[in-house]
Amino acid sequence: MAKILIVEDEPKIARFVELELKYEGYEVELAGDGRTGLDKALHAGVDLVLLDIMLPELSGIEVCRRIRMESELPIIMLTAKDDVTDKVAGLDIGADDYMTKPFAIEELLARIRVALNRHSKKSAQRKLEVLEFGKLRLNLSSRSAYYGEEELSLTKKEFELLEYLLKNKNVALNREQLLNNVWDYEYFGDTNVVDVYIRYLRQKIDDKYGIHLISTVRGVGYIIKDET
């Protein structure tokens, strides 16, 4: 059964949701502040996060943003007030859904099931996928990359950038496209981050193995081209 993390600083609500989830058969982890919540979301092997917005240490919005830099874990935001700004902010930075407190537990349970299903379908699709280019191999299910037999140590964003370039090989991609597709909203408008990550990839692949994988297209952006 799935393990659910509740990040909530109001003990009564946390306890209530915990009992209901356990009754449904879920395993439950608790965190009473944003920092602990972020840590558990990334390191406690959880399958879904229920994330309050108004939290001590780190706000729910910030926790959500930081989880999304590392993971696609489903996140349902819990908003205390009926605040449209918070909801929009939450969804913009990658939350899957939100609920306004007080909520009916049946509705929360239904939304948890939907989010878990959607996520496992996405993962199942990923499992089938391996991208290959010359000696380079990207396993999209395990998110691991190899050059020949050697595993490359890529960060999540480096991996995603390489994945996007390979899926669009032989197409010149401009920085805005890369930013929109690989970073979503995190660095809105700041295309320098693309150049920085291209440099990281070149250090880890081109320079290391003495190949020319990623080409610069002057005035446009970047491309991975089949050798001609």
The distance of closest approach from Cβ of residue 41 to Ca ion in the complex, given in angstroms and rounded to an integer, is 16
Residues of this chain that interact with Ca ion (CB under 5 A) are: 9, 52, 54
Rank residues 53 and 205 by Cβ distance to Ca ion and give the closer one: 53
Alpha-carbon gap, residue 26 to 43, rounded angstroms: 18
Rank residues 24 and 57 by Cβ distance to Ca ion and give the closer one: 57
Q: How many helices (H) and strands (E) does the chain have?
A: 9, 12
Residue 180's beta-bridge partner residues? none
* Residue number closest to Ca ion, CB atom: 54
36 closest CA partner among 2, 8, 76, 11: 8
Per the rule left: phi > 0, alpha: psi between -120 and 50, beta: everything else, 164 is alpha
The distance of closest approach from Cβ of residue 16 to Ca ion in the complex, given in angstroms and rounded to an integer, is 14
The distance of closest approach from Cβ of residue 110 to Ca ion in the complex, given in angstroms and rounded to an integer, is 23
- The DSSP secondary-structure symbol of 216 reads E
Rank residues 9 and 72 by Cβ distance to Ca ion and give the closer one: 9
Rank residues 79 and 177 by Cβ distance to Ca ion and give the closer one: 79
